[in-house]
Structures are given as C-alpha cells and as structure tokens.
Amino acid sequence: MVAKILGIVGSPRKKGASATMIDTALASAKETGAEIERLDLVDYNVKNCTGCDACLKPPNECPLSKDDDYLKIEQKVIGANAIILAAPSYFSGVPVLTQNFIDRSRPMKMAKYKLQDKIFAAMGASGLRQGGGERIVDQLNAFALTQGMVVVGGLGHPVIEMNSPIATLQGEDLKAFRKPGEDQLANAIAKGLGKRVGNLIAKLIK
Ligand SMILES: Cc1cc2nc3c(=O)[nH]c(=O)nc-3n(C[C@H](O)[C@H](O)[C@H](O)COP(=O)(O)O)c2cc1C
C-alpha cells in the first residue's frame, strides 16, 4: 500500500511562503515513496460556518455543503494518510480561508472522528520575525488534536532546527525582506518534516 500525503496551502497566495513550504515538504515526502498531492484552499468555494449546529446530530451533515465545494476538500482529506497544513499569520491568526476549512470540518469530528489517527503536521508563515507564526502552528495543531489526529514535527538537526517550520520574510538584517521561499531555515525544517511524515506513514501502513 502506498502512503498518501496531502499538503494543504491555507494562504490565498499560491506562490507565497506557505505554498513554498508545502512544495518543499511534499517533494521530500515523495522521496520516501509516498504519493503526494497539493491542495490550495483558495481554489475552493467554502462558505463560513453559521453555527447552526446541524452537524451535531446524525447524519452529521452540514446544510451548506449542498451549495459549495467543501465536500471536495473533505473527500481528499479523508483519502489521505497524512496531512500537512501551512498557513500564514494574519494578525497572528490563520486567514479566513483556513478558518473556514477548519470550522466546516466539524461534521467529521461529530461523525465519530473520521480523521482519527491520521498523521498531521503544521507549518506557519509570517511577514515579520515574531509576527505570529508560532501561534499559527499552535492553532493548526489544536485543530488536528481536536479532530483526533496524531500531531508530529520534523526530526531535523537537534541543535539548530525546531520541529515545525515558520517562514518569515524579515531576515537577519531587519530592514531586508526576502522573497517567499528564501528562508533557508524554514526550507530545511520543511524538508525534514516531509521526510519524517513520509517515513512515519510508511512504517505505520506496512
Ligand atoms: C491581512 C494580513 C495580515 C497580516 N498580519 C500579519 C501579522 O500580524 N504579522 C506578520 O508578521 N505578518 C502579517 N502579515 C504578513 C503575512 O503573514 C506574510 O506576508 C506571509 O508571508 C504570508 O504568507 P503567504 O506568503 O503564504 O501568503 C499579514 C498579511 C496580511 C495580508
């Protein structure tokens, strides 16, 4: 059985820092033999949750799903063994695009944890150093825990690499801003994260 890893870009920008990290992690995961797919949330029309609570009762369906693209995303998420989700910091929180996906995923939890035991890894991006990237990783990991997924990080260099990549545009020279994809540390951690997720899934599904 081949492991399927889904990388989700939670930024409206398809060539931004979140997208670059997803591409890096997926390329690395592919080297472990996994099947990879990238999904950009911006390509889907997902309405915001209205709080009607219809999903609490069987058949745990969202009335909005009749009229938007949410179920197309859900199908891909359910079909994956592992999910890597990257999102930028918008005022230290995830953009509405990502939040809508998270909120609308509630029926999967209510239908007895449909995402239970899937491997999950988070990545954050911010314009500024200390611009909220760590909060993004925490927020995404909280989503995964609430959905019953198994949260993992990378196993890169133990002294110089943290376990979840956080890309910033502001570099070492405080006034020098780099382009998305130019944060070397975030790239290295994203690469290690993809490898970890790929190797872990391979062990678990064999
Ligand atoms: C509406 C909005 C709010 C933002 N808020 C913050 C912020 O609070 N802190 C920060 O460091 N960067 C902030 N940024 C900058 C983005 O986090 C940064 O450009 C990031 O690289 C975007 O990720 P992406 O390239 O994956 O789209 C904000 C950008 C936008 C558009």
Domains delineated in the chain: 4-205 (3.40.50.360)
- Both tokens of 114, joined, read 């449909």
- Rounded distance from Cα 97 to ligand 1 centre (Å): 13
| Ligand 1 atom closest to residue 169's alpha carbon, by position in its atom list | 21
| Pocket flag, ligand 1, residue 128 (CB < 6 Å) | yes
Percent above pLDDT 70 for the chain? 100
Whose structure tokens read 């890893």? 5
Q: Which of 40, 89, 178 to mutate to test the pocket of ligand 1 (most atoms within 8 A of CB)?
A: 89
- For residue 64, the surrounding DSSP H or E stretch is none
What's the whole-model pTM score? 0.98
- Assign 15 a pLDDT band (cuts: 50, 70, 90): very high
Q: What is the mean pLDDT of residues 112-121?
A: 98
Contact 182, 191 (CB under 8 A): no
**pLDDT range class, residue 206, cuts 50, 70, 90:** confident
Q: Round to whole Å and give the CA distance between 29 and 17.
A: 18
Backbone phi, psi, residue 90, to 5°: -115, 105
Res 130 pLDDT > 90: yes
Close Cβ partners of 202 (under 8 Å, ≥ 6 residues apart): 3, 32, 33, 34
Percent of the chain, pLDDT > 90? Answer: 97
Check whether 124 has a pLDDT greater than 90. yes
| Segment 68-108, tens digit of pLDDT | 999 999 999 999 999 999 999 999 999 999 999 999 999 99
pLDDT tier, 7 (very low <50, low <70, confident <90, very high otherwise): very high
CB atoms within 10 A of CB 176: 9
Indicate if ligand 1 lies below 6 Å from the C-beta of 181.
Answer: no
Q: For residue 63, is pLDDT > 90? A: yes
Q: Whose CA is nearest to atom 12 of ligand 1?
A: 127
Strand partners, 5: 36, 82
The tokens describing 50, both together, are 């209205």
Which atom number of ligand 1 is nearest to the Cα of residue 16?
Answer: 25
**What is the separation, in whole angstroms, between the first and last Cα of the chain?**
7
Check if the beta carbon of residue 155 is closer than 8 Å to that of residue 198.
Answer: no
Query: Are the CB atoms for 167 and 7 separated by under 8 Å?
Result: no
Give per-residue pLDDT as tens, 162-198. Answer: 999 999 999 989 999 999 999 999 999 999 999 999 9
Ligand 1: atom nearest CA of 86 is 26
Of the candidates 34, 6, 20, 24, the residue with the CA atom closest to the CA atom of residue 120: 6
Average pLDDT, the chain: 97
What are the residues whose beta carbons fall under 8 Å from the beta carbon of 139, sequence distance 6 or more?
87, 93, 94
Give exposure, 189-201, as e/b (b: 16+ Cβ within 10 Å): bbbbbbbbbbbbb
Helix ranges restricted to H, 31-150: 70-78, 96-104, 106-110, 133-146
What's the pLDDT score for residue 177?
96
Q: 126 C-alpha vs ligand 1 centroid, how far in Å?
A: 5
The first and second tokens of residue 134, run together, are 């760590």
For ligand 1, atom 4: residue with the closest CA:
90
Say what the pLDDT of residue 1 is: 84
Mean pLDDT of 28-49: 98
Alpha carbon 51 to its chain centroid, in Å, reads 23
What is the residue with the minimal CA distance to atom 23 of ligand 1?
88
> With a 6 A CB cut-off, is 91 part of the ligand 1 pocket?
yes
| Residues contacting 72, CB < 8 A, separation 6+ | 44
Phi and psi at residue 165, in whole multiples of 5°? -70, 140
